[in-house]
């Protein structure tokens, strides 16, 4: 059989198959069968091997023209099938615009953010202004400027996230105090809300990041009694009811004397529960008179000026206000939980 007869037979068979296919997969099968390395068109090359040198150019042109012709037919068919498949899929997935839309779910304010704003508002009513400092700070502002000894345990890698070039994630918002004391002159009455980070084991009562509000007041003739009265006045305003407050002596490097502030557990009405470790009391703040060394390091004359400082854990307060027993709830950000909290405690704050 001559080359032309062979081509006519291939063309006839090809067109019959082409008209019968119905999917892109059939197109790919035909492509491999006719145009693959061992396909039907490649088999025509044997005519070139047997032909004389004078006939080879003409025969090669005939084979290439046939290949291009059949390829064009196959390509057009593939485009047609793709359009049909797309139309079929669109028809199957069509959206009925007359149907009612999916209900739009509004977000709610995060409980921690809500408490944070309320605490700031209360202290603002007491005459405090807001100050800020970076989350990523140097050891000087987080430790040294606050009278921490070089070998203080809080500076250990177990408690602090360190970075190169003496940078770290602040472990408290007290770094605001150092920044402002170095750049402002007394009197200063500042609160500093923000995130803190500590390398601790995550549990129901502690987390590697949390929110804190640092507050401090520096002026002449500031006394310890003012701090105690501030702490007594704040908690009833926050909870909207009478709150039992007690003070315990404590130690912090940047205050002297120092104290812990406890309030009667509002979750169990002082009867004892998991949140207060069955003591009836919950530690909510650390406070004290600013250490003279802290003032002197910031070039504030401790013989002339005095001050007090306090730090309040926001998550601890939110747990009390909203009846949440696990601090990890706040970072899971489950809107269903927060919606239940907002509904159950809609009257809080």
Can you tell me the mean pLDDT for 334-349? 63
The phi and psi torsions of 150 (rounded to 5 degrees) equal -60, -35
Can you tell me the mean pLDDT for 168-175? 93
With 70 as the cut, is the pLDDT of residue 344 above it?
no
Per-residue pLDDT tens for 252-276?
Answer: 999 999 999 998 887 777 788 777 7
**Which range, of 91-100, 192-201, 313-322, 334-343, averages the lowest pLDDT?**
334-343
Closest by Cα among 321, 313, 200, 199 to 261 = 313
Q: What is the per-residue pLDDT for 114?
A: 87
Q: What is the per-residue pLDDT for 158?
A: 62
CB of 249 within 8 A of CB of 258?
yes
Which one is predicted more confidently, 111 or 232?
Answer: 232
Per-residue pLDDT tens for 308-339?
Answer: 999 999 988 888 888 787 888 888 877 777 77
Q: What is the per-residue pLDDT for 348?
A: 47
| Arithmetic mean of pLDDT over the chain | 86
With 90 as the cut, is the pLDDT of residue 149 above it?
no
In the numeric block, which tokens belong to residue 271?
A: 């009867």
Ramachandran assignment for 136, one of left (phi > 0), alpha (psi -120 to 50 degrees), beta (any other) = beta
| Residue in this structure with the two tokens 């910031």, named with its chain if needed | 298
Can you tell me the mean pLDDT for 114-129? 94
Cβ neighbours of residue 194 closer than 8 Å, sequence gap 6 or more:
132, 133, 135, 170, 173, 176, 211, 212, 214
Instruction: Name the strands in the sheet holding 167-169, side by side, starting at the edge strand that comes first in the sequence.
Output: 136-138, 167-169, 162-163
Can you tell me the mean pLDDT for 202-228? 91
**Which range, of 20-24, 77-81, 119-123, 342-346, averages the lowest pLDDT?**
342-346
**Which range, of 120-129, 220-229, 323-332, averages the lowest pLDDT?**
323-332
Q: What is the per-residue pLDDT for 349?
A: 47
Can you tell me the mean pLDDT for 132-151? 90
With 70 as the cut, is the pLDDT of residue 218 above it?
yes
Can you tell me the mean pLDDT for 93-105? 76
Work out the end-to-end distance of the chain between its first and last CA atoms, rounded to an integer number of angstroms: 96
Closest by Cα among 204, 215, 213 to 177 = 215
Q: What is the per-residue pLDDT for 108?
A: 76
Per-residue pLDDT tens for 280-311?
Answer: 888 889 999 999 999 999 999 999 999 999 99
With 90 as the cut, is the pLDDT of residue 122 above it?
yes
- The CA distance from 283 to 260, in Å, is 7
- Crossing angle of helices 56-92 and 24-35, in 10° steps, is 170
Q: What is the per-residue pLDDT for 342?
A: 65
CB of 295 within 8 A of CB of 93?
no
CB of 101 within 8 A of CB of 336?
no
- Which pTM was predicted? 0.66
In the 3-class helix/strand/coil scheme, how is the chain assigned residue by residue? Answer: CCHHHHHHHHHHHHHHHHHHCCCHHHHHHHHHHHHCCCCHHHHCHHHHHHCCCCCHHHHHHHHHHHHHHHHHHHHHHHHHHHHHHHHHHHHHCCCCCCCCCCCCCCCCCCHHHHHHHHHHHHHHHCCCEECCCCCEEEHHHHCHHHCCCCCCHHHCCCCCCEECCCEEECCCCCHHHHHHHHHCCCCEEEEEEEEEECCCCCCCCCCCEEEEEEEEEEECCCCHHHHHHHHHHHHHHHHCCCCCEEEEEEEECCEEEEEEEEEECCCCCCCCCCCCCCCCEEEEEEEEEECHHHHHHCCCCCCCCEEEEEEEEHHHHHHHHHCCCCCCHHHHCCHHHHHHHHHHCCCCC
Can you tell me the mean pLDDT for 202-207? 81
Q: What percent of the chain has pLDDT over 70?
A: 95
Q: What percent of the chain has pLDDT over 90?
A: 40
With 60 as the cut, is the pLDDT of residue 205 above it?
yes
CB of 279 within 8 A of CB of 272?
yes
With 90 as the cut, is the pLDDT of residue 123 above it?
yes
With 90 as the cut, is the pLDDT of residue 346 above it?
no
Can you tell me the mean pLDDT for 143-167? 83
């Amino acid at each position: 059989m001559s080359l032309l007869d062979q081509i006519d037979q291939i063309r006839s068979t090809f067109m019959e198959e082409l008209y019968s296919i119905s999917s892109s997969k059939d197109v790919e099968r035909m492509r491999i069968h006719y145009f693959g390395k061992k396909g039907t068109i490649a088999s025509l090359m044997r005519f070139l091997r047997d032909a004389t040198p004078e006939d080879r150019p003409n025969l090669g042109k005939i084979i290439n023209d046939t290949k291009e012709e059949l390829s064009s037919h196959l390509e057009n068919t593939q485009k047609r099938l793709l359009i049909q498949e797309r139309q079929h899929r669109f028809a199957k997935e069509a959206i009925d615009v007359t149907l009612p839309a999916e209900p739009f779910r509004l977000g709610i304010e995060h409980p921690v953010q809500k408490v944070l704003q309320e605490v700031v508002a209360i202290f603002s009513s007491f005459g405090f202004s807001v100050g800020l400092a970076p989350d990523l700070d140097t050891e000087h502002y987080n430790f040294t400027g606050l009278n921490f000894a070089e070998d203080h345990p809080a500076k250990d890698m177990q408690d602090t996230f360190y970075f190169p070039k003496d940078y770290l994630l602040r472990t408290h918002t007290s770094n605001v105090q150092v920044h402002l004391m170095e750049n402002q002159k007394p009197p200063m009455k500042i609160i500093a809300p923000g995130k803190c980070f500590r390398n601790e084991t995550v549990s129901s009562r502690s987390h590697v990041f949390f929110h804190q509000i640092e507050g401090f007041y520096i002026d002449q003739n500031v006394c310890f009694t003012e701090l105690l009265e501030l702490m007594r006045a704040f908690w009833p305003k926050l909870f909207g009811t009478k709150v039992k407050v007690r003070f315990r002596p404590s130690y912090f490097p940047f205050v002297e004397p120092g104290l812990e502030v406890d309030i009667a557990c509002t979750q169990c009405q002082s009867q004892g529960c998991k949140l207060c470790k069955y003591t009836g009391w919950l530690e909510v703040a650390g406070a004290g008179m600013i250490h003279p060394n802290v003032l002197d390091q910031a070039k504030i004359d401790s013989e002339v000026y005095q001050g007090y400082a306090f730090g309040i854990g926001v998550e601890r307060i939110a747990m009390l206000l909203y009846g949440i027993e696990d601090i990890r709830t706040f970072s899971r950000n489950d809107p269903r939980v927060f919606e239940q909290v907002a509904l159950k405690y809609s009257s809080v704050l």
